[in-house]
Structure 1
Amino acid sequence: MLEKVSAILDVIERGPASSAEIAQATGISRGTVFRLVRDMARLGLVARDGDRITLGSRIPQLAAASDGVPSAHSWAEKLAALRDRTGAFAVRLHQLHSPATRVCIAEVLDLHAPQRSQLGMPEPLRADPVTLTFLTWQSNQPGARVPAAVPYRDDTLTRTRRRGWAQGFSGPDHCVAIVAAPVLDRRKRVVAVLEISGPVAVLTATPGRTHGRSLIAVASESDVISECLYRRGVAVPGAPAQTVSSLHLLTTTRRTG
């Protein structure tokens, strides 16, 4: 029975699935899948989203507990605190979706942020601090390659790795400042990138020098790393919006003062 439960979790770890899809992928009868999913939902191991089955709230709690990490969304609180401390309009966590695309897995927006939500939206890698950070910490990993669309030179990657952060500017007249830092696992592999963005008037004309250390500190927090590891491999793009509803809640937790 435990092997069947494990097989079901293996399937939905890759993304939401229906009972029929789970049965087909595991070879377990649909009746048995239905009964097991019902019991797993009662224990918080899975959740239902219409006819789709997703990982339940108990899973990240168990993952956090196994790593000695507090699980009560303290990672989300740290993103909000970083937003408030720096004055950024947006704080985001990004993960690679494919070798040429990335996806925002969590964000906290200021009440007056002019930027639209990027949550769960895959977008191509482009020449910006987030992409530079991914490429910098991937460049020394086996099989890594730099997409032709973002031809960063080796000396740029070396300087970024030495600093620990990347900075840049966007928008009309480069009025928006951006700083990014890597979230690294225990093997120093990049599993996500933490980004802040906001007006140059607030983040300053040297945003990396001003806020880089703060980003590195938050990106190094064990609960932030645990959350990124949990989200890694989950098929956010193309999945129903409800599968990232816990992250959507962050966009409504806005600064009021």
Structure 2
Amino acid sequence: MEESGGKLTVRAVERALDILMCFKDAHDLSLTEISGRVGLNKSTVHRLLATLEEKGFLLRDGDKFRLGYSVWELAANLTQVDDAAQLLLPEMERLRDQLGETISLYVRDGNDRIRIQAVQSNQAIRRVAPIGVRLPLYVGASSKVLLAFADEAERAETMQSPSWPASIETQDFLQQLEEVRRSGYALSVEEREPGAAAVSVPILDRSHRISAALSVSGPVSRMTPDTMRTYAPLLMEAASRMEKMIRTVNL
């Protein structure tokens, strides 16, 4: 601990926060760039980056780092967030009004998915989707989308992890993911939650990599397989508009 401006501070925490603040005006940064910005040697910055990455506050993409999904989870408690979740909210509301069901936006974090935005249905009987909830990648329409459109190495790493249920038959699941890639959407009926069903589509970034999964969910009494298949093209249209919005602001 040391005194700064009359207050005791923990130096390692202060340095870690300085690193995070580097990203307020940059999408991604290398170790060298971060080291230069915070005025610390590379070995010190490397150790701090490893800790921030382990805790989910940073993600590594090759030799670059960018903000991780733990930031999304914290931001879920803010009323105004200048990020994709806030940017896409009006489009999600429009889709909710069109379909009458709950709309959710998910991103992948390791072997989980996180709901970073949601618009609740206005119907009396509806599926409530709290923002910030972390769910497993092995079940649900959005999980299938996030895995189906991930690259092969990421998909294999997830399915070989200790947290992956041994009860899931690998070949059957891979066939499901292949069908999701072919059709462009995934369905789930009471897979994760009794009485609930969902259909999900991918949102791709400018490099055509999976960025998020957009889903509509509701009670099985309304969300029949046939109904969900009619919703799928409407979700794809909305996802296409969202992709253009994200690329425009370079998120």
TM-score normalised according to structure 2 size: 0.57
- Residues 40-77 of structure 1, C-alpha deviation per residue, up to 9 Å, x if partnerless? xxxxxxxxxxxx9xxxx8965xxx9xxxxxxxx66312
**Which of the numbers 158, 162, 176 marks the counterpart of 1:156?**
176
The answer to whether the aligner puts 1:182 opposite 2:202 as a matched pair is: yes
Pairs aligned (count): 177
Q: In the TM superposition, what is the alpha-carbon distance from 1:26 to its structure 2 partner? A: 1.9
Higher relative contact order (CA 8 A, sep 6+): 1
Partner of residue 100, structure 2: 87
Aligned AA (2:95): L
Out of 120, 124, 128, the position equivalent to 2:136 is 124
Cα distance in 2 for partners of 1:159, 1:131 equals: 14
Contact 2:148/2:178 (CA < 8 Å) preserved in 1? yes
Structure 2 contact 121–127 (Cα < 8 Å) conserved: no
Instruction: Please state if 1:136 is matched with 2:148.
Output: yes
Measured at CA, do residues 120 and 159 of structure 1 come closer, stay the same or move farther in structure 2, by a change above 3 Å? Answer: same
Cα 1:58–1:136 change in 2 (3 A) is: closer
Superposition deviation, residue 228 in structure 1 = 10
Match of 1:105 among 116, 131, 134: 116
> Which letter does structure 2 place at the counterpart of 1:214?
L
Return the alpha-carbon distance in structure 1 between the equivalents of residues 193 and 38 of structure 2.
55
8 Å contact kept, 2:203–2:214 = yes
TM-score, scaled relative to structure 1:
0.56
Q: What percentage of aligned pairs have identical amino acids?
A: 23
Letter in 1 for 2:113: R
Give the secondary-structure state (helix, strand or coil) at the position aligned to 2:22: helix
Q: Are residues 142 and 118 of structure 1, via their aligned partners in 2, closer, same or farther at CA, if it must alter by over 3 Å?
A: same
Aligned counterpart in structure 1 of residue 225 of structure 2, from 205, 220, 223: 205
- Equivalent position SS for 1:201: coil
Q: Which sits farther off after the overlay, 202-211 or 157-166? A: 202-211
How do 1:1-257 and structure 2 match up within 5 A?
9-11=21-23, 26-27=38-39, 75-88=88-101, 90-98=102-110, 100-111=111-122, 112=124, 114-138=126-150, 140-145=151-156, 146-147=158-159, 148-149=164-165, 151=170, 153-170=173-190, 175-221=195-241, 222=243, 225-226=246-247, 230=251
CA 1:207–1:26: 2 relative to 1, 3 Å: farther
Q: Following TM superposition, by how much is the alpha carbon of 1:11 offset from its aligned partner in structure 2, in angstroms?
A: 4.8
Q: Is the 8 A contact 1:191 1:228 kept in 2?
A: no
State the 1:162 CA deviation. Answer: 1.0
